[in-house]
Amino acid sequence: AMLPGLLAYEKTPRGLGDLLSVAAECAERCGTGGIEPIAGLAATAGRKGSSQTVRQAARLLATFEDRETEE
């Protein structure tokens, strides 16, 4: 519930990359069934650069995309 708000900031909040990393690991292990895609995640994952925030957002986004291909 807090990720959409954090992803909406123009300047990346400190620690967001770490938080996304934990979220991605949880999603990879437990799946994302029954969970709506996170608002702002695709935009963050699509940013230029290779910061931890961008990498982990892409990793988390992939768990939602993997779910769509399995359905």
Number of Cβ within a 10 Å radius of residue 24: 19
Statement: residue 19 has pLDDT above 90:
yes
Q: What pLDDT, in 10s, does the model give residues 29-50?
A: 999 988 998 999 999 999 999 9
pTM of the model: 0.89
Per-residue model confidence (pLDDT) at position 65: 86
Average pLDDT over all residues of the chain: 93
Number of Cβ within a 10 Å radius of residue 22: 11
Residues 70, 19: Cα–Cα separation, whole Å: 26
Question: How many folded domains does the chain comprise?
Answer: 1
Q: Angle formed by the axes of helices 52-70 and 16-30, to 10°?
A: 20
Kindly state the tokens that stand for 31: 């799946």
Domain of residue 48: give its range: 3-70
